[in-house]
Amino acid sequence: MIFAPTIAPWRTLAALMLEAAIGYPEALHQILPHPITRAGRAIHALEQRWNHPDQPAARRRLLGIAVLLLVAGGAALIGFLIDQGGRDNIWAALATLVLATTGLAQRSLYTHVAAVRAALQAGNLPAARLATGRIVGRDTATLDINGVATAALESLAESFCDGIIAPAFWFFLLGLGGLFAYKAINTADSMIGHREPRWRDFGWAAARTDDFANLIPARLSGALLALAAGGGWRVMLRDARLHDSPNAGWPEAAMAGGLKIRLGGPVTYDGAPHPRPWFGDGATPDTADLTRGLRVYLVACGLFWILLAAGGCAWRH
């Protein structure tokens, strides 16, 4: 561990609080694109250059490993070097906190999901579909109110893990290098870690590494959501393993159980049907359930803050 355990919880909490306060301002984004977009561009460029279908599967797998090592390894090295510069300089240490906020998404996740709710509350289903399309990969053009609410809640639950808990977890353990590496891995998984023939071998390393990186955070995310909702443990433990992903099912099933609704079910991607299991036993969610889900999310974020503060206080003694 790069940082003493007495420092790590407070540093992680400070980064989370700062990100919740300022997020990544849109005006700044217009001038300086979010750092994750740079990792995405590098992954895209390397995939276009190296991932040729006429190559043997073993070679494509090795090249996929090389992409992950280059992008995630480079991100880790940059983060580590910045951290080293901030060890004895208060201003540099504050700068690392600001940089850490770029890997966290408490504020932006709430903003994007709240935009879906606002459109539904206004009775503007086309706008709700458009807002949902900004946070999910599935087709949204034909979704009804329940389909929009389902997609938004699933994104809220899953992104609670990979947008907040997981990057904070790796920041806590390994500092800025761990956070940057995680975000690069997660970005690679979202871009090339698919099962379709084009990416199955090339994206194998990205998918498996992302599975490992989210192993503990996903279960912690599910537990926090269940605690925040005052229930959902039974559904989470029963249904989490139904998901194709070894990790995504934990927060999604916890959200479904905590709200006493049903998430999951078949969807379409690029016009192609994609069967999925159901999570939970209730009805499909509506606008009121989306509002309740946002409240659960806020409470879960607060519980995570309390957990970090408690850890910092415990390590003082």
Instruction: With respect to residue 82, please indicate whether it lies within any of the assigned structural domains.
Output: yes
82 Cβ contact list (under 8 Å, min separation 6): 92, 95, 96, 99, 176
Q: How confident is the model at residue 91 (pLDDT cuts 50, 70, 90)?
A: confident
Three-class SS of residue 268? strand
pLDDT tier at 72 (50, 70, 90 boundaries)? Answer: very high
Asked if residue 96 belongs to a domain, the reply is: yes
∠ Cα 86 88 89 (to 5°): 65
Beta strands in the chain (DSSP E): 263-264, 267-269, 272-274, 278-279
What is the mean pLDDT of the segment spanning 147-174? 97
* Mean pLDDT estimate for the chain: 91
Question: Rounded CA gap, 226 and 231, in Å?
Answer: 5
With respect to residue 262, please indicate whether it lies within any of the assigned structural domains: yes
Cα-only R_g, the chain = 20
* Digit-coded pLDDT (tens) for 128-141: 999 999 999 899 99
Range among 100-104, 110-114, 188-192 rated most confident: 110-114
pLDDT at 54 over 50: yes
Angle (deg, nearest 10), helices 215-229 and 249-259: 10
Asked if residue 267 belongs to a domain, the reply is yes
At 289, is the pLDDT very low, low, confident or very high (cuts 50, 70, 90)?
very high
Report residue 2's pLDDT band, with 50, 70 and 90 as the boundaries.
Answer: very low
Range in 33-37, 218-222, 286-290 the model is least confident about? 33-37
pLDDT tens, position by position, 241-279: 999 899 999 999 999 999 999 999 999 988 889 999 999
> Which residue range forms the structural domain that includes residue 113?
8-315
268 versus 90: the higher-pLDDT residue is 268
Mean pLDDT, residues 45-52? 92
Which of 30-44, 143-157, 182-196, 207-221 has the weakest average pLDDT?
Answer: 30-44
The pLDDT of residue 6: 55
Q: Region 20-49: what's the mean pLDDT?
A: 78
Inform me whether the pLDDT recorded for 38 exceeds 90.
no
- Assign 274 to helix, strand or coil: strand
Q: Does 198 reside within a domain?
A: yes
Residues 6+ apart with CB under 8 A from 91: none
Q: For residues 142-152, give the mean pLDDT.
A: 97
State the total domains in the chain: 1
Chain length of the chain: 317
> Is pLDDT above 70 for 27?
no
Cα 188 to Cα 41, 104, 291, distances in angstroms:
10, 17, 31
CA distance 227 to 233: 8
| Total-model pTM | 0.93
Between CA 131 and CA 265 the distance in angstroms is: 20
Cβ–Cβ < 8 Å for 106, 20? yes
| Residue 197: band (very low, low, confident or very high) from pLDDT cuts 50, 70, 90 | confident
pLDDT reported for residue 1: 41
pLDDT surpasses 60 at 317: no
Is residue 1 a part of any domain in this protein?
Answer: no
Question: In the structure, what pLDDT confidence band is assigned to residue 32 with cuts at 50, 70 and 90?
Answer: low
* Residue 3, domain member (yes or no): no
